[in-house]
Structure 1
Amino acid sequence: MSRFFVSQLQHNQQVDQVFLASNKQLRPNRQGNLFLQIDLSDRSGSMPCRMWNATERDYAAIENGDYVYVEGTAQLFQGSMQLIAQSIKRAEPGDVDESDFMTLQTSEVQELKERLLKTLRGIKSKPLAALVEAYLTDDVFMDKFCRAPAGIKNHHAYKGGLLDHVVNLMDVAQAVAPKYPQVDVEKLLVGVFLHDSGKVDELEYERDLAYTDEGQMIGHIVQAACLLDRKAREAEGRAQLAFPPMLLMELKHMVLSHHGHLAFGSPKLPMTLEAVVLSAIDDMDAKLASFTGLIKECPNADSRWTQYFPNIDRKLWKGVKGD
């Protein structure tokens, strides 16, 4: 039987299939009765699920990151789809098709990696090339970099999402930079590569997506800056050169300022031309990915508009079919 993906579910549709479980909680309702709250996802998106009159045994029967077999009914609630479950149990391995949960297939990840390597290994600057190789020849880092998401909710929140995001930004950087000859395109490309590199250790992504303890307490911006220090020292040994202190400071600045605003978590505002460009294209790519996902997952199939999203303080225009 073909599955219905999260983005395809309709109001009052009966559901009887496998999802990936995360963020499970056992909570009391207003009457004090317990219910199980859990997020269910597949490659198309995620939705909240509730199972009323749950028990401690129901809660303990599944773990975050499990594939679970769910029977229930999809419901439209306050403009978003949710699932009311009658039963949730751990799925048997034979019931799971891993491809249903992979936004990017293995071949797509490999293609993105090859594009990344081609771009970065085209850098001519000797210190930048040596720095890049210190990352690219680190098999542990590169394995994590190609598997990590760029986030757990807002944008590129899927395995391989970080790689997808970075390659997108490299394409944009190479398209934009020729219009602004005062921008050092090689420095910008390295900043694009490094800006979210801390996410390989900030996030967990073996099954469900979550923050590591280090990610919660330190965060990817500081993690990336610390990693950059270590890789700059490796680059010095690799290329038999003293890594230029000013260049290292500028690269760190791009990492530290790429969120663009102090209120968004950047400890510094962008103060170099390359940092300004990086912050702008990073914000654009993240917003377009996030907004596209909101439009795609919108359950208002017959409307030209999505529902109102409080977190972005607006509805989104879906357009007219055939335009």
Structure 2
Amino acid sequence: MSRRYVNQLSHGDSVDEAFLVADKQLRANRQGNLYLQLELRDKTGSVGARLWNATEELARTFEPGDYLLVRGKTQIFQGSLQIILTHLDVLDPTRVEPEDFLPQSSQNVAKLFNRLRELLLAMHEPHLRALVECFLIDEEFVAKFTAAPAGIKNHHAYQGGLLEHVVNILNVADRILEFYPEVDRDLLLTGVFLHDIGKIEELSYERSFAYTDEGQLVGHLVMGVEMLRDKVERTADLTGEPFPPELLLRLKHMIVSHHGALEYGSPKLPMTLEAVALHYLDNLDAKIHTFGREIRDDPVRESTWTPFQQSLGRRLFKGTTARDTPEGTDEA
């Protein structure tokens, strides 16, 4: 019997299905009664779920990354779909197909990686080309880079999402750089490739998406600079000379400043042409992806607006819906 995925659920559906636990919180309502607030996931997305009258003993039987067989019914609550659970069982992970539960890029990862190589290896600056070659011949790095998400819940939060995000930005940069001849093409493309490399170690993404201990304590900006410095030391084997200090400085600056503002986690504001270009290209791709997802995945199909999106600080306009009879007209 085929399973029902999250993107196939709608208001009022009965649910008897297996999901991966992405998040678990044991909470108390105003009367002090405990309930479980869960985020359940499969490869098509995630859905909130609540189990009333829960116990601490039940909550201790599973953790994020485990699989549950749940029963319940869906409802729309504050504009979002959720499942009100009546029962749950912890599943043996050997009884499930892992590929059913972690979201993956809808694009062909092999083609994305080939496009990445095509753009990066066409660069002319010898030290930058040697640097990207050092990354691309590192099989462990490539395996992680092509599997990692770009985030846990925000943009490109699926396996292969980091690669897809980087290739999107590279493609945009490739198309617009002719209008900005003062921007160093090879430097910008290298910075695009490197800006989020720390995420391959900041995040864990084998069974569920979460932060590693180092990711929580250090973060991908610092981790990315460390990875860059490690590879820079190896470029001399390809070029026969040391990596230019200013070139390294500019790359490090692009990594640490690409969030664009101190309040968004950048220890420095962009202070070079390539750094400011990277910031806006990165933000463009992330925002377009996030807006598109919120509009596409809104479960309330009849509304022309999404619910208020806390992370975006606004509702999003989806457009008018088709109606049998235009408003203000009488049927014949």
Which residue matches 2:242?
A: 242
Which residue matches 1:8?
A: 8
Matches of 1:108 and 1:256, distance apart in 2: 30
Q: Deviations over 1:104-147 (max 9, x none)?
A: 36982222112212221222211001111111111111111111
Contact 1:62–1:89 (Cα < 8 Å) also in 2: no
Matches of 2:251 and 2:221, distance apart in 1: 12
**Is the counterpart of residue 169 in structure 1 residue 169 in structure 2?**
yes
Letter in 1 for 2:122: G
Q: Displacement, 1:94?
A: 7.5
Q: Deviations over 1:73-128 (max 9, x none)?
A: 11111111111111122335676344433543698222211221222122221100
Contact 1:201–1:220 (Cα < 8 Å) also in 2: yes
Which residue matches 1:32?
A: 32
Q: Displacement, 1:30?
A: 2.5
**Taking every aligned residue pair, what percent have the same amino acid on both sides?**
49
Aligned residues: 322
Contact 1:177–1:183 (Cα < 8 Å) also in 2: yes
Which residue matches 1:61?
A: 61
Which residue matches 2:205?
A: 205
Q: After the TM superposition, which of the residue ranges 52-61 and 237-246 deviates more from structure 2?
A: 52-61
Gap change, CA 1:258 and 1:165, over 3 Å in 2: same
Matches of 1:130 and 1:58, distance apart in 2: 54
Structure with bigger RCO (C-alpha 8 Å, 6+ apart): 1
Contact 1:40–1:47 (Cα < 8 Å) also in 2: yes
Q: After the TM superposition, which of the residue ranges 55-64 and 94-103 deviates more from structure 2?
A: 94-103
Q: After the TM superposition, which of the residue ranges 172-181 and 87-96 deviates more from structure 2?
A: 87-96
**TM-score between both structures, scaled by the size of structure 1:** 0.93
Which residue matches 1:119?
A: 119
Q: After the TM superposition, which of the residue ranges 85-94 and 273-282 deviates more from structure 2?
A: 85-94
Matches of 1:127 and 1:61, distance apart in 2: 53
Gap change, CA 1:207 and 1:98, over 3 Å in 2: closer
Letter in 2 for 1:96: V
Which residue matches 2:131?
A: 131
Letter in 1 for 2:184: D
Which residue matches 1:216?
A: 216
Gap change, CA 1:99 and 1:204, over 3 Å in 2: closer
Matches of 1:286 and 1:107, distance apart in 2: 17
Report SS of the residue matched to 2:242: coil
Contact 2:105–2:158 (Cα < 8 Å) also in 1: no
Gap change, CA 1:107 and 1:173, over 3 Å in 2: closer
Q: Deviations over 1:33-66 (max 9, x none)?
A: 2222211112222122111122233223323112
Contact 2:45–2:103 (Cα < 8 Å) also in 1: no
Gaps of 5+ in 2: 323-332
Report SS of the residue matched to 2:83: strand
Gap change, CA 1:264 and 1:118, over 3 Å in 2: same
Which residue matches 1:154?
A: 154
Report SS of the residue matched to 1:183: coil
> Aligned-residue CA RMSD in angstroms?
1.9
**Is the counterpart of residue 292 in structure 1 residue 259 in structure 2?**
no
Q: Displacement, 1:239?
A: 2.2
Report SS of the residue matched to 2:48: strand
Alignment of 1:38-49 (within 5 A): 38-49=38-49
Matches of 2:148 and 2:315, distance apart in 1: 30
Contact 2:50–2:84 (Cα < 8 Å) also in 1: yes
**TM-score between both structures, scaled by the size of structure 2:** 0.91
Matches of 2:167 and 2:125, distance apart in 1: 20
The structure having more radius of gyration, on CA atoms, is 2
Contact 1:35–1:50 (Cα < 8 Å) also in 2: yes
Letter in 2 for 1:84: I
Contact 1:127–1:239 (Cα < 8 Å) also in 2: yes
Contact 2:105–2:164 (Cα < 8 Å) also in 1: no
Gap change, CA 1:105 and 1:315, over 3 Å in 2: closer
Q: Displacement, 1:224?
A: 0.5
Letter in 2 for 1:176: I
Q: After the TM superposition, which of the residue ranges 88-97 and 146-155 deviates more from structure 2?
A: 88-97
Gaps of 5+ in 1: none
Contact 2:6–2:47 (Cα < 8 Å) also in 1: yes
Letter in 1 for 2:150: A
Contact 1:25–1:36 (Cα < 8 Å) also in 2: yes
Q: Displacement, 1:305?
A: 1.3
Matches of 2:278 and 2:156, distance apart in 1: 17
Letter in 2 for 1:22: A
Letter in 1 for 2:287: K
Matches of 2:183 and 2:235, distance apart in 1: 24
Contact 1:113–1:146 (Cα < 8 Å) also in 2: yes
Which residue matches 1:230?
A: 230
Q: Deviations over 1:241-272 (max 9, x none)?
A: 11001111111111011111111111111111
Which residue matches 1:101?
A: 101
Letter in 1 for 2:111: E
Letter in 1 for 2:266: S
